């Protein structure tokens, strides 16, 4: 490790290289640099294919994806046309579905087929699965036999399964080979996948026997048999397994890649951590969106699609709001007598809604990460009741004092304090029990918990506050 000082000036450090290029296209906030973007759009507008090709030649697929996302639709199409066969189709795995479809619709099936041929099978499937049946068949028909069979094998598995997300390229060796034989094979075979981190060990019928990490191969003497360095704890994943479940196995066991097997334990592919990271991201994203009452819209969706996707949720909320209003209507006489009640009632309902949302958020998330299950559900319910009681007391006293002073009426102060306490406890129970119940009956708690929880807190809030007031003032 000495005498290498001279090389320093010749080899540009990778950090410098990355900085230079990354600095070229991104600013400190991680947005595409305006100068770069202007340069690219100018080349597109002038139809200058040469300059455009030069500007995007070194881009990573995800960088090209970022670029596509900020361009205008017509610029996107021009870019694809101008780049022609130089367009890296794997960039489409990094963009919104709407943009992906827009671009694949713009391309001919011949173009798509040619581009797919150069991609890894998991990326190719990702793009193919969104196309309609007819285009899919036409494109597959244009591919070489081996690739066609591979892609079809993935496409035959249901959506969102491990089989859809897997890569069908992998390296497998028999258990009786030696490390030396294996290294020789790897040096000679020209059909190896682009990259791999483990070898699978299979029997002659492709049944999975184990796996060997590459570092084990490198540490072992040439004469060592594969079966003696093979691991048998590799958590194989059934091709039909839901991708979320597979992602959870990756997380739990810190896997980098895992064998995907069919029902007969035959190796059909490999699932890699980079695809799993995307799944984890998507799942978290979905939970956030659902809790916020948003469907599967995308940032690039138009006004109509977005509006439609949000309307159902608003419609459901309109009904529950009318329900809550009808509770208020029961007490119209009381309100007419004491207008302060109308002024104060949204506070009781609103605070309950906020407290309920807090508990619900924690519950929904803990259910999603499997941290909450039958073993600790009772403990968490007990805790939430305690929190509801405590916060109810604190905020009951606070709002009681505030309302009492505001309207110079100790009765109103006492009534709102009691109503706040009642609603905070209701909020705690609704926040924990509704998601648990939805989960129990197999519904996704993230989707519908919020509506039920706020319905409970609105109705309890209005009913307890106005009810207590009408009872108290009638008997005095």
Using CB under 8 A as the binding rule, the residues of this chain from 355 to 384 that contact its own copies are 355, 357-358, 360-362, 365-366, 369-376, 380, 383
In 3D, which of 192, 189, 150 has the Cα closest to residue 171?
192
User: Shortest Cβ distance from residue 82 to its own copies (Å)?
Assistant: 20
Position among 311, 312, 410, 443 found at the interface with its own copies (CB under 8 A):
311
Q: For residues 63 and 78, which CB has a smaller minimum distance to its own copies in the complex?
A: 63
Looking at 76-84, 98-106, 140-148, 389-397, which segment touches its own copies (CB under 8 A)? Answer: 389-397
In the range 332-351, which residues lie near its own copies by CB under 8 A? 332, 335-336, 339-340, 342-347, 349-351
Contact letters for its own copies, residues 264-303 (x by CB under 8 A): -x-------xx-xx--xx--xx-xxx-xxxx--x-x-xxx
Position among 57, 318, 410, 437 found at the interface with its own copies (CB under 8 A):
318
Is residue 214 near its own copies by the rule CB under 8 A? yes
In the range 7-46, which residues lie near its own copies by CB under 8 A? 7-8, 11-15, 17-18, 22, 29-32, 34, 37
What is the three-class DSSP state of 172?
Answer: strand
CB-count exposure of residue 316 (10 Å: 0-12, 13-18, 19+)? middle
Position among 85, 133, 223, 233 found at the interface with its own copies (CB under 8 A):
233
Q: For residues 105 and 215, which CB has a smaller minimum distance to its own copies in the complex?
A: 215
Q: Nearest-5° angle of CA 26, CA 29, CA 78?
A: 40
User: Shortest Cβ distance from residue 30 to its own copies (Å)?
Assistant: 5
Is residue 132 near its own copies by the rule CB under 8 A? no
Does the CA dihedral 443-448-449-455 come out positive or negative? negative
What distance in Å separates the CA atoms of residue 190 and residue 296, rounded to the nearest whole number? Answer: 42
What distance in Å separates the CA atoms of residue 226 and residue 211, rounded to the nearest whole number? Answer: 9
Q: For residues 80 and 362, which CB has a smaller minimum distance to its own copies in the complex?
A: 362
Buried b / exposed e along 161-185 (16+ C-beta atoms within 10 A): bbbbbbbbbbbbbeeebbbebbeee
Tell me how far the alpha carbon of residue 180 is from its chain's centroid.
Answer: 43
User: Shortest Cβ distance from residue 109 to its own copies (Å)?
Assistant: 28
Count other C-beta atoms under 10 Å from residue 372's C-beta: 21
In 3D, which of 122, 121, 262 has the Cα closest to residue 205?
262
What distance in Å separates the CA atoms of residue 9 and residue 5, rounded to the nearest whole number? Answer: 8
In the range 392-431, which residues lie near its own copies by CB under 8 A? 394-395, 398-399, 402
User: Shortest Cβ distance from residue 345 to its own copies (Å)?
Assistant: 8
In the range 40-59, which residues lie near its own copies by CB under 8 A? none
What distance in Å separates the CA atoms of residue 171 and residue 367, rounded to the nearest whole number? Answer: 37
Is residue 228 near its own copies by the rule CB under 8 A? no
Q: For residues 146 and 390, which CB has a smaller minimum distance to its own copies in the complex?
A: 390
């Amino acid at each position: 490790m000495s005498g290498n000082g001279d090389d320093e000036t010749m080899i540009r450090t990778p950090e410098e290289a990355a900085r230079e290029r990354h600095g070229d296209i991104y600013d400190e906030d991680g947005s595409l640099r305006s100068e770069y973007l202007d340069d690219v759009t100018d080349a597109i507008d002038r139809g200058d294919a040469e300059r455009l090709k030069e500007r995007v030649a070194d881009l990573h697929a995800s960088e090209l994806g970022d670029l596509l996302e900020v361009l205008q639709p017509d610029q996107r199409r021009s870019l694809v046309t101008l780049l022609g066969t130089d367009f890296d189709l794997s960039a489409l795995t990094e963009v919104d579905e709407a943009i992906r479809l827009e671009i694949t619709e713009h391309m001919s099936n011949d173009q798509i087929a040619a581009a797919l041929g150069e991609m890894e099978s998991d990326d190719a499937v990702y793009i193919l699965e969104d196309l309609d049946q007819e285009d899919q068949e036409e494109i597959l028909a244009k591919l070489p036999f081996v690739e066609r069979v591979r892609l079809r094998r993935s496409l035959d598995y249901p959506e969102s399964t491990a089989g859809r997300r897997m890569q069908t390229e992998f390296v497998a060796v028999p258990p009786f080979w030696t490390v030396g034989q294996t290294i020789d094979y790897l040096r000679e075979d020209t059909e190896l996948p682009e990259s791999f981190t483990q070898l699978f060990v299979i029997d002659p019928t492709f049944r999975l026997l184990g796996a060997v990490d590459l570092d084990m191969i490198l540490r072992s003497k040439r004469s060592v048999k594969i079966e003696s360095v093979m691991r048998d704890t590799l958590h194989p994943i059934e091709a039909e397994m839901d991708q979320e479940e597979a992602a959870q196995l990756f997380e739990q066991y810190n896997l980098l890649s895992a064998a995907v097997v069919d029902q007969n334990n035959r190796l059909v592919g490999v699932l890699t951590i980079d695809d799993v990271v995307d799944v984890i991201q998507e799942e978290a994203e979905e939970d956030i969106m659902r809790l916020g009452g948003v469907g599967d819209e995308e940032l690039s969706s138009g006004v109509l699609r977005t509006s439609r996707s949000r309307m159902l949720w608003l419609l459901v909320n309109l009904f529950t709001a009318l329900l809550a209003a009808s509770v208020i209507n029961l007490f119209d006489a009381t309100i007419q007598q004491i207008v302060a009640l109308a002024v104060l009632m949204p506070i009781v309902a609103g605070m309950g809604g906020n407290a309920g949302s807090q508990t619900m958020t924690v519950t929904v998330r803990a259910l999603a990460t499997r941290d909450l299950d039958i073993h600790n559900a009772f403990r968490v319910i007990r805790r939430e009741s305690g929190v509801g009681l405590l916060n109810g007391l604190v905020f009951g006293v606070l709002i009681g004092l505030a309302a009492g002073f505001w309207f110079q009426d100790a009765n109103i102060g006492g009534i709102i304090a009691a109503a706040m306490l009642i609603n905070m406890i209701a909020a705690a129970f609704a926040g924990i029990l509704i998601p648990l119940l939805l989960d129990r009956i197999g519904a996704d708690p993230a989707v519908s918990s919020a509506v039920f929880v706020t319905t409970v807190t609105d109705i309890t809030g209005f009913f307890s506050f106005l009810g207590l007031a009408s009872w108290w003032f009638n008997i005095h």
